[in-house]
Amino acid sequence: MPKPSARKPSSKNAPLDEDRKNRWKFGQNFLVDEAVIRGICEDVESNPSDWIIEIGPGQGALTRRLAPRCRKLTALEIDTKWVEHLNNHPQWGNLDVVQTDATRVDWEEILDQHAPEPGQKPLVVGNLPYNRAAPILLGLLPRLPRCLSLQIMVQFEVAKRICGKPHSRDFGFLTVMVQNWATAELLRKVSPDAFRPRPNVWSATLRLTPRETPICTDPGFKPFVDLAFSQRRKKLSNVLEAFYGKSEAARHLEELGLRPDSRAEDLSVEEFAALFLRLGPIPVR
């Protein structure tokens, strides 16, 4: 008996399959709840002279409401289909669409070459894709002093970590990194029902307001904090022992008025920076 021939996929399903692939690849969950969309836009404190940068506008749920309220909206979108969609709606306002991956974008180029006028600080807005939120945020943090604010939507659990307090389970690497550069405010908790396709988690919006002066700008601070939280259950002096020596780490903790048996989550952002300045960058071996 001859083997049955393989069925060719129907061309009718090709666009749908491509959409599913892109949703998975780019972490696309589109905001469709009008009340939530309206509320998020109301939280963006913009005026007609402002410049807005929107990360991942997708279908333009926020874009079409924010663009008419500002001088210029620069949209950073990775998906070719949505870039074309946005460019087909000039009636929304002064749209500047840039096709780029927000995890790899050259923020200095965007801030220097797309500003309506030299040196203008933008309001940055975005519903960050769940699978790319951390790298996007970490890449943007050192440029926050050049922004007015950053209003983002992330998973609710990520939002709790960003807004975490010392001595809590939420306080960790991401907390220290974000709060080193900005103050964090939780704005809204958003149900999975507000999205299509429906995610399995709740989301939340945050506003990050840049500090007048970041606590620590040394590039060695990030790997230092990463090391400190690499073994959360251990005493911090034991975690740092391999690079700085246990007695040296314990001595500096004590001189800062901290218990020598402190764990990473017991230190504030300011105390982390003070400890780093005493110990210095992780020694190269």
Boundaries of every domain in the chain: 20-210, 221-279
The confidence score (pLDDT) of residue 130 equals 87
Confidence at residue 18, expressed as pLDDT on a 0 to 100 scale: 52
Identify which of 226, 236, 29 has the alpha carbon closest to the alpha carbon of residue 138: 226
CA 148, 150, 151, 157 dihedral sign is negative
DSSP state letter for 148: S
Predicted pLDDT of residue 246 = 83
The four Cα atoms 146, 30, 27, 24 give a dihedral, to 10 degrees, of -160
Q: What is the pLDDT, as a whole number, of residue 285?
A: 67
Query: 20-210 sits in which CATH class?
Result: alpha beta
Please report, in tens digits, the pLDDT of each residue of the chain (285 residues total): 444 444 444 445 544 455 545 444 445 689 999 999 999 999 999 999 999 999 999 999 999 999 999 999 999 999 999 999 999 999 999 999 999 999 999 999 999 999 999 999 999 999 998 889 999 999 999 999 999 999 999 999 999 999 999 999 999 999 999 999 999 999 999 999 999 999 999 999 999 999 999 999 999 999 999 999 999 999 999 999 999 998 999 999 999 999 989 999 999 999 999 999 999 999 986
3-state DSSP assignment of residue 178: helix
**Helix locations, the chain, DSSP H:** 14-26, 34-43, 63-66, 80-87, 107-113, 133-140, 156-162, 173-181, 221-228, 236-244, 246-255, 269-279
> According to the model, what pLDDT value does residue 68 have?
97
Whole-number pLDDT of residue 12: 52
Minimal CA–CA distance to 62: which of 211, 122, 70? 70
Q: Is 23 helix (H, G, I), strand (E, B) or coil?
A: helix
Q: Tell me, what's the pLDDT at 3? A: 42
Q: In terms of Cα–Cα distance, which of 201, 165, 168, 157 is closest to 183?
A: 165
CATH fold, domain 221-279, is Helicase, Ruva Protein; domain 3 (1.10.8)
pTM: 0.88
